[in-house]
Structure formats: structure tokens, C-alpha cells
Amino acid sequence: MASATKANPRSAPQGELGADLIALPAWSAFGLGLRGFSVDREDVAELRWPASVRTFAHMRNDTQLSGLYRAGTLPVRRYVWGIDANGADPKVVDNVCRDFNLPTMDEAWQAFLTGKSGPVPRARNRFSWDKHSTDAQRAIYNGHYYFELHGAIVDDGLWHPEDASPRSPWTIAFIEAAPNGDLVAIKQMIGLNTPELAAERLIAYVFDQEPGDWTGRSAYRSCYREWLLKDRLLRVDAINHEKAGGILLNEAPKDATPDQIEALSKLAQNARVGGGGAVPAGTTPVFIRGTGSDVIGSINRHDESMAREFLAMFMALGTSSSGGNRALAGSFLDWFALAQEATAIWQRDTFQQQAIDRYVEWNFGDQDYVPLLAFKRPEDANPLDLLAAGVTTGANAGEPGAVGVQDTNGEVVPVAAVRFGRGGWSLVPQIVVDGDLAETVRGEHAAFEAWAGRAPRSSRRTPSAAANGRSGGRHSDPAAAAAPDTIPLPDRPLRREPTEQEIQAQADFKTIDSQWSTQTGSLVDAWKTVRAGQIASLVQQITDADGDLAALAAIAAAPEGADLIATHLHTMASLGAGQAVNEAKKQGVVAASTPALDDLNAELTARAAALEQLLASSISSAAATKAVQLSGGKVTAADVADDVRAYLNGLSDAWLHDQMGGALSAAQNGGRLAAMEHNGASRYYASELLDENTCDPCAEEDGTEFATADEAAAAYPAGGYYDCQGGPRCRGTIVAVYDEASST
């Protein structure tokens, strides 16, 4: 039996022996001599500190870079900020809230939900978090931004902060760091006797910091090459416009004298748009225009590249020749929202450690628990938050016209809204009308519409040829042969009963739903093998990077699996065409046949290749983000690799299911439309019966009639409805009705 080991704390390493910095003295700027240690490994002279401050200021004047910066920072100012008590002494919490002019998190959130807040203290001569946050965010493009925290001891014997005053990078002469990488002090260049500002007086926001580097790494650094080339291209484009987009050469007559040739040369050199002149008889003007260079196209490419650094790829959608995709934009926005939240976390943690924690230690000594700076996004609001805040209709649940949600005890409680998203407050998922719990809130009950302050749906939209450019109105009644009263439906709750048009179209929703579910599940399961190979590659790249943050940020899985996706899409298109053929035969089109799907399959193959790229980019971005987050300090590359592997393997399949399902919906609807058009369908109708959660635009579109397959395809171009807020999750489809003349 093994003997027990006695505790021996003295065997643990004590003190610090190594150094995080390269021990080379650095010449500080402005002739102030040797000071501190150098960790600047920048190769480009214009980007070495302090010259980088001026360079990044120039770059900020670029409209694309300025827009990217604002897009990433302004939403963070919109977050709800406050102080979380975190179990700290109430006296400490009260002092922190008062001195830093912030409410408790509960008070801030309550004020946001209700739109009501208590008395607001005056702002003059008091700390302002919004102003401080705005200045701190300048570290994103400068790389660093310092503040001097200063205050005074008053009658209560406590130190109270007066402000955290900005110390602009433009004013800093040197930054001194200790050999172990800790910040020692900074000094400004505002006078010969300017005092040093010791680290304990400073709040240092350093963006994308490497150990020991207190100048940080600007988010603009990766954009420098693109910005530089774009600046040159803008000048070229301006010159091209001045010279009408080319070069004028005058071919002189055979007997021209040197003076005449020189005169013709000067005339060509001075030629500008709107100019003019005369040439001697026999002169042949030749206008040369370059055809191998697309200046504006190159500028757009550089703008798109800069957007990738900020994870703001959505800014290029719809503004370039590549067009845009609403579903893809939704995915990009989700990633961008995560980047914004990461920025807020960086600000929060910096202020917590260098301001609040110090404040508590100076005034109250060691504390077991310290109040925490906290934030919530407006999008995080949920029904329980609103119920707790008392946001209700004022009606009693169960009474006619009352509207509510079920709380945790099963009681129906009146409530106005549930969630704050990109479209604003969303309405409740369940409603009570005349004492009965309704299934949806999509405007089917006038009582609910009236309570919500909205006109009933019938008065809000009646599609017509004049209104929407299509023939026919919503839920038009086709004069066709009588059809059975029922059609096959999936064995799951549906948002509504089939309409007369869907029954007349003999739409087999059960088969449509079953085949889609089977193909989606099969593709998601098969994709796990592809994903396993990509994860193995990413983990190996993390190991090889050995803690190099730049290398970790650049890891990428090779796109693969397009053939697998394409095979499933082609199968789904064939199944969709077969569904439509069977529906036509049930309507009496006995000669209905399946068309060739060559053009559709070529389009689906291209869609598979695009989806392959998107999925590789998604898992690469997730791996890189997690690897950078976990790396640093004494954590080994092997540990980071193992943790990232576990993280990737633990990711939900929900997003993957949505992407695969959306592509399969496009294939299914494409096959259905091709067969409907091939067999001479007379009318086409939008159907959102299979949707599990129908957005307002899809609910509006539900039942709309289209005169041609092209009109239907324009409304449902990639599977779901064009304006669907759910992106690839849309299960909308098209059903068709055939005239008696089509039946043979």
C-alpha cells in the first residue's frame, strides 16, 4: 500500500526568475535616451511605435476603415452597463456605484426594460462610463490608450476618484516595462519636467497585447497593405477620369517638323475631360485605353479584405459585383455580434482590474468578494426579465382580449413582448384570446392585433398586381375542379390548417417534409466525417503554432466535402421533381413527366462548392477564436490544442443543420418548380404551412399567387422566402394548380 505524501508548500516554485522581454534597451522617441526594454518586432518603419500613431491616424480617415471601427464599437456603447454586487459588502458596492457613477446591474437592466429610471445624478465633474468607454475604444486602432486615474481623500477618510483622464498616444514619449513584462511607467512629452506616471496611476487599454508589449497591436495593422494599395488605386482612378480613362497620342504628319511634333505632344499631355484643341492636317489622334485593369474592382477587393479583419464581411454584401445573400448576412452578423461582445469583455476586464479592484483595495483593503463591472446586450432580454420588470398589458389573464405568456408556475401572465433583436421587440409566442390559449401570434386574431396596437392583417396587406407586380391577390380562389377535403400532412404540430389552394394542388406535405428531414439528417451525419478531418487539421496547426498568436489567428481548415453536398442536393432535386409530378397526376394531368434537371443540378453543384467554403470558414474561425482566447501565460500549445478539440467536438449541430437544410430546401423547391413548369401549371401559390416558427414577412407572403414559375422562383430563390428573417431555416415551398385544359 502506497504511503501518503505530506503537504510541502515549500517545494512549489517561488518568485520569478525568467523574463518575458527581449533584454535589448530601446531608444525612446524624441531624444530622451535609453529607457525600458524593446519588444517591437515590426518590420515596416511606418508601423513602429511611435510612428505607428501617426500612420494609424491617417488610416482612420479612410471611409471603409472608419466605418468598420464605428460598426464594431458603437453597438458596445448601446449595451446596458452596471455594477454586479457579486456578494461584496453592500457598503463597498454603494461606494463603487457612487464614485464611478454607475447603477447596479439590476437597476440598469430594469430601467432598460421599462424605459424608466430613477433620479440621474449630475454629470458635471463626475466619472462618465460612456465617455470613458468611447475613449478607451480608441485603443482598437491605436493599439493602446492610457488613462490617469486620479482623485482625492475627503472627510470620510476614503479616496474618491475624480476622473480617469485620457493620456493620448500622441503625447507619450516612452513606455517603460519591467523585464518580466509588467508595466512600470509612461512619460509624456509635454515639458522638460513632466513627471512619470507610474503604473498604479494608469488604466492601460492595450489591444491584442502580446506579453510585455504595452503598445499593443492595432486592428488596422492587418489592413495596412490593403489601405496603402487602395490609396494608390484611388489616385489612379482620379487620373483616369481626368484623362477620360486613357492616354492620347497624336501621330504627326510625315513632313512634321520637330517643333510641330513637340506641340502635338504637349497638346496630348494637357488633354483632359471637357478640353479640346486643333491639330494640323494629316495628324491622326490615337486614344489608348488600358483594358486589363479594373481599378474600382481592385478597390472593392481591398475594402472586402479589410472587412474580414473586423469580421464585418456583411458590409460587402449587396455593395459589390458578388451581390448578397440574406441568409449569409445573418450568419455574418452573428459572428460580428460575437466580435463586438469580445470587445466589451476586453474593456470590462481592463477597467475591473485596473480601476475597480484598485479602488476597493485602497479604500477597504483585502476583500473576499469585489463588485464587478458587468454588461448585458439588449438582445439578451427574455420573457422572465420582462415579467420581473412588471412589463404587462394591465389586463387580467383569461379575460377577453388579454394577452400573456406562461410563467415558471404555469400561470398565464400578461406581457407585452419577449425579445429585443435586430428587428426590435418581438411579440409574445403565445396569446390568450377570449380565454383560450392560441397557437401563434402571427396576426390571425383581431383581438390580439388590436391589443398590440396593430391593424388586423387583412387591412395591412392585400397583394395585387398593382401593389406587388404579381398577378392575383392573396388566397385567390381558382376556378378549378373539386378536390378532396384533406391532403397528407406531417405527424407534428402545424402552424395552420391547409388552405383551399393547397388542397386543390394535392400537395403531399407529409412526403415533402419526410424526404427533406431524411436527406438533411443523412447529410449532417455524413458531414461529421469531413468535420472530423478538419478538426484534426486545425488541432495540428494549433500545436505547430506553439503559442504564436498571429499564427493561431490564421489557422484554417481546407474546404472539402463539396461532392458529398452536391450528391445530396441532386438527390433532393430529383425527389422534389417527383413530388410535383405526383401532385400533377392527382389533379388529373395523366401525362405528367419528370423534366431533365441538368441546369438545376449545375446550379446546385455551385451551391455545394459555396457551402463547402462557408463551412470550412466557420469551423476555422471558431477554432482560431478559441485558440487565441486560451493561449498565453504558461499554457502549453498541447493543452490549447486539446481544449480546442474538445470545444469543437462539443459544438451543437444546430447551425450545421440549418445550413444543410437550407441548401436542401433550395434543391427540393428547385426540382418542384422545374416539374411544375415542365407540366404546364397554371397558377403557383406560396405555402408556409411547414414552417415551425414563421416570421412576419413569411406570414405575409403565405398564400400569395404567382402567374409564372419565374415569379415564384424570384420569391423563393434559394429554398425559403426571399425576405425570411430565419434565413436557411425557412421551410416555405410552392404548390401549383393545373387548369382542366392541362389534363389529358
pLDDT digits (tens, 9 = 90+) for 126-167: 788 989 999 998 988 888 999 999 988 888 889 998 888 999
Q: Is 326 in the same domain as 474?
A: no
Which three cell numbers mark 731? Answer: 421551410
Q: Which pLDDT score is estimated for 563?
A: 92
Tell whether the model's pLDDT for residue 470 goes beyond 50.
no
> Which grid coordinates are listed for 593?
413527366
> What pLDDT does residue 301 have?
65
Helix (H, G, I), strand (E, B) or coil at 97: helix
Average pLDDT over residues 715-721: 81
> Are both 692 and 655 inside the same structural domain?
yes
> Within a domain: residue 550?
yes
Number of folded domains in the chain? 3
Whole-number pLDDT of residue 720: 80
Q: What residues contact 298, with CB distance under 8 A and at least 6 apart?
A: 229, 230, 233
If asked whether residues 398 and 363 sit together in one domain, one would say: no
pLDDT at position 314: 56
Strand-pair category, 34-35 with 424-426: unpaired
Cell of 160: 474618491
- If asked whether residues 365 and 430 sit together in one domain, one would say no
User: Is residue 13 situated within a structural domain?
Assistant: no
Does residue 557 share a domain with residue 646?
yes
| Whether residue 387 is found in the same domain as residue 520 | no
In a domain, 252, yes or no: no
Q: Looking at the structure, do residues 577 and 711 belong to the same domain, yes or no?
A: yes
Nearest CA to 351 out of 205, 219, 208 is that of 205
Residues 353 and 392 in one domain: no
Chosen domain end from 460, 481, 498: 460
| Predicted confidence (pLDDT) per residue in 260-301, tens digit | 778 877 777 776 555 566 666 666 666 655 554 565 666 666
| Whether 324 contacts 318, CB under 8 Å | yes
pLDDT of residue 293: 54
Last residue of a domain, one of 379, 398, 413: 379
Q: What is the 3-state secondary structure (H, E, C) of 408-423?
A: CCCCEEECCCCEEECC
Residues 584, 654, single domain; the answer is yes
Please check whether residues 479 and 603 belong to one and the same domain: yes
Least confident of 113-122, 370-379, 511-520, 709-718: 113-122
**Looking at residue 405, what DSSP letter applies?**
E
pLDDT digits (tens, 9 = 90+) for 259-269: 877 887 777 77
236 domain residue, yes or no? yes
Domain that holds residue 424: 381-460
Enter the C-alpha cell of residue 310.
Answer: 473586423
Q: What does each C-alpha distance from 235 to 46, 196, 224, 270 come to in angstroms? A: 21, 44, 17, 18
> What's the rounded Cα separation, in Å, for the pair 578 and 593?
9
Q: Do residues 237 and 348 both lie within one domain?
A: yes
Q: What is the mean pLDDT of the chain?
A: 75
Residue 586 lies in a domain: yes
pLDDT of residue 405: 45
In a domain, 160, yes or no: yes
Do residues 447 and 434 make contact, with C-beta atoms less than 8 angstroms apart? yes
Where a domain ends, among 415, 442, 460?
460
Share of the chain above pLDDT 90, in %: 17
Q: Is the pLDDT of residue 23 over 50?
A: no
Is position 662 within any domain?
yes
Burial class (CB in 10 A: 0-12, 13-18, 19+), 652: exposed
Segment (H or E) for 174: strand 172-177
Same domain, 373 and 442: no
pLDDT in tens, 386-438: 555 555 443 443 343 334 444 444 554 444 334 334 344 444 434 443 444 33
* pLDDT tens-place string over residues 87-124: 899 999 999 999 999 999 988 888 887 777 667 666 66
**Strands 159-167, 202-206: pairing kind:** unpaired
Residue 10 lies in a domain: no
Quote the pLDDT of residue 147: 94
Q: Is the pLDDT of residue 4 over 80?
A: no
